[in-house]
Each structure stands twice: as structure tokens, then as C-alpha cells.
Amino acid sequence: MARVVKKSTRAKKATGSTAASPVVSKAQKAVDAASKSLDAQLDRVAKAKARAQKSNTAVAKTSLTNANSKAKELRAKLAMAKMDLAKAKAMDAVRLAEAAAKEKVTSLADSLSAKADKDLAAALKAFEARWVKTREKNHAKKIKAAEKKAEAKVKAAAKKAAAKAKELEKKAAAKLKAEAKKVKKAVAKKSSTAKKAGRPKKAAAAKPAKRVGRPKKATSAAKPAKRVGRPKKATAAATKKAPARRGRPPKAGAARRGRPPKKAA
């Protein structure tokens, strides 16, 4: 159905382009009129010739001469009309060729425009596909790099957190150990206090009274103690120190009872 419409459109275009121009029509009418006038004049010439041959008079001969002269003019006029018609037809042929060329160029332009639109759509589609593929590839690279960077940050943070947790555990263990030591010391202190409360410490003054036998030999500082009477001042300081450890000497390695000595600051 579409091909039929196309053919009818082409037929219409051809009819419109091949239609005679007004100049050609006018020239054709002039040729037709001149030809008709010449035909009529030739008939008159034939009649005048027949009369002149029949009568052979001067009037007949004059009429024949005039008819021939008129026919000659009409022949020239017809020739001129035919020449004008040929010129008009040539110019019209140029016009028709120009119109056909224009029509062909217009048709070619329309075809090329349609083809260009089609090719442009295909090229845009192909370019879009390539562009999307390239952009997706670039995005994938960027996302992978970002994921790698984030993973490295997470690992570093986890390592730092683990180190901090280990340090905190170490500090907590040290603190617990110190607290355990404090508790142990407190318990030891309480037990020593309890022992002191149960068994009183021997008085320094009472120790010499227990000794019955021969007294222990004193050092060179304690020798003057044998002297009866008022002791010297120097020996007073020595006797002041000596009562702290009179009697039986302590056993080696025996634990000291009572409050433990204060540590040096």
C-alpha cells in the first residue's frame, strides 16, 4: 500500500514538473495560428492560380501575385513563430532540468538527513555504551581502591585497639597484683597485730632479771659495767643500747615478730 502511494506521489511530481510553461503555450498558439493562416492563404493562392490559368487576364495574374506575396509573408511569420516556440521549449527544458535537479537535490538531502539521523542515533548509542562501560570500569577501580583503603584503616584501628586492650589488661593485671600485695600485707599486719595482742613482747628491763647464771661477756664498751658504783657517762649510752638485745641471741633465719620495719622513702 505504501509503494502505491509513493508511485502516485512521483507521478504527481512528474506531471507538475513537465507541465508546459505559459511562454511555450503562447508560442505554440502563435505557431498554430500562423500555420492556419498560411493554409488558408495557400488555398487562396491555388484558387488564384486556377483562375489565372483559366482566364489568363492581368487581373487574375495580379491576384495570383498578391496571393503568393501574402503566402510568402505568412510562411515567414510561421517560421518566426516556430523559432520562438523552439526557443521557448529550450528555455522550458532548462527550467524543467533545473526543477528536476532541484527536486533530485532536495530528495538526496532528505535521504541524507534521514540517514544522518539514523547513523547519529546508532553512533550515540554505541558511544553511550562505550562511555558507560568505561565509566563503570573507572568507578569499579575507585570503589576497589576505597574499599582497600577502608580495609587498611579498619585493620590499623583494630591493631591499635588490640594493643590498647593489651596495655589496659597489663595495667589491670599490675593493679590487681598490687592490690593483692596490699591485701596480703594488710592480712600479715592484722595477723602480727593479733599475735602481739595475744603474747606481749618481753620487756627490755625484765630480760636481765631472767638470767641467773654468769652474765654474758660485754664488749669493750660494756666492760666498765663490772665496776661497782656510779658508771661513766660514756658507758651509760652503751648500756642504753645493750638492753635492746640481752639474753639468748635470736635464731638464724627466724622471722621477726611484730610490725614490719618501715621502708625507706
What does the pLDDT look like over 242-258, one tens digit per residue? 555 666 666 655 556 66
Sign of the Cα torsion 20, 24, 26, 27 reads negative
Give dist(CA 33, CA 39) in Å, integer. Answer: 10
C-alpha grid cell, residue 224: 666498765
Q: In angstroms, what CA-CA distances link 238 with 36, 209, 216, 228?
A: 186, 19, 15, 16
Give dist(CA 193, CA 133) in Å, integer. Answer: 87
Domain ranges of the chain: 17-140
Give dist(CA 235, CA 243) in Å, integer. Answer: 13
pLDDT 10s digits, 116-169 = 999 999 999 999 999 999 999 999 999 999 998 998 989 899 988 999 888 888
C-alpha grid cell, residue 3: 509503494
Give dist(CA 139, CA 117) in Å, integer. Answer: 32
Burial of 100 (0-12, 13-18, 19+ CB in 10 A): middle
This prediction has a pTM of 0.38
pLDDT 10s digits, 69-103 = 888 898 998 999 999 989 888 998 988 899 999 99
With DSSP H G I counted as helix, E B as strand and the rest as coil, what are the percentages for the chain, rounded to 5?
Answer: 80, 0, 20
Give dist(CA 262, CA 265) in Å, integer. Answer: 9
